[in-house]
Structure 1
Amino acid sequence: MFVRLMDELGYQRFAVVGHDRGALVAFRLGLDFPAAISQIAVLDVIPQGDLWPALSGVGTVFAAHLPFLAQPPDLPERMIAADPDLFFGHFLDSWQSPPGQLTADVRAAYLAACRKPETIAAICADYRAGAFIDPGHDQADAGAGRRLRMPVLAGWQDPGEQVLPFGPAKIWASWATNLSTVTYQCGHFIAEQQPVALCADLCRLLEKDG
């Protein structure tokens, strides 16, 4: 549908930049519609087919929200709705590095959107798809040898002292044949915390021949 929309707008070939779930959408567009996608940037995420097998032991602590949000309806929805500001505020605050970099108005806008019941339901549905649908698609594509052939920029936050249970560069190298990688000195919110560096990297990506 996204590719059809772009075509109707007059764009038969275009670049896609995505963060977190948006990056997984970009990843899927690149695999499913390679002729339409010129360049891809994927920020602070790895494919779901690689993520779930990598989560084990103490490494699962930092990703405890993944299995929680993927629980059947409507357990997580009701628990989150009891205090959505506490739940989402925890991630808005703890996923910053250093803390306090999101301005008060940005934080308030995030929380206002996440208080809506339909937003909570959509977030949980997305995480269920990430657990039970996306990995199968990724595994099928990997087995068929499908890869991203266009220029790809994979960027992620500096984990600091935290040891990731996976290597983002290695994982993205297994999917992209024309890959550049970068680590940003910030937390999860790369666009908000490192806009100048990110913009420069995206300009370099878009200059590459797709």
Structure 2
Amino acid sequence: MRVVIEDHVMPVLMSAAIEAYDIVHKATERSKGKKKIETYGLLWGYVVPAKSEDGENKVIVTSATIETSAIRHENYVQPDIESIETKKALIQQYWPHLELVGTFHSHPYDSLDEVNDIRGWEASGEDGDLSYWTNFHENIAPEQPVLAHLILTVAQLQKMGWALPDSFQGRNYSGFRISAGTKKLWLNTYMSVCDLIEDEIEDTEEYQSYIYDGKIKLDSPALLRRILENS
């Protein structure tokens, strides 16, 4: 499995995650605001199915949109399903070359130590990210064989930091670690798979989605080059 993130997608993802982290968000002018909250968005592009038994499925992310209607909190984000379905229908009608190919959300943490202590770049447990992604895939985009699910983790550094971008690999995820100014960022991706199950006896069809449990390759070469050239 491979996920390719095109260059012009990254400013949307990074700016949304850092804005939610740094800027106080208020429901009204007089209400008490919050910062270091999560944010959420949708990934658009196209899926290239494997051409052979030993080939790989590819998700190409060419654009992203941020869900401004999502309920955002320090420890969770809850998108509005009606908003997602509206955007999907709109884009399918007027931009048919784009498909819904995944989701994005951020994980904000106070410090580098906190991220490392609880492995904050990983998905939350079975009742969190993992179950949400499979339900999303099965109910919102069952026509896609695979979807990408990006997590952008943000932590504050004590001082301006710099380090060579490097990659990390888990059992069923793949990502990059990046130092950008006073922030440390982890860009991580998981993938979900949706299978069509046909019952010829009952003459029924249904979908079953699950988290991909294998090696994933995350590609964002332009991002890594920009970090190296401008830090």
TM-score category (smaller protein):
under 0.3
Higher strand share: 2
TM-score, with length taken from structure 2 = 0.25
TM-score, with length taken from structure 1 = 0.27
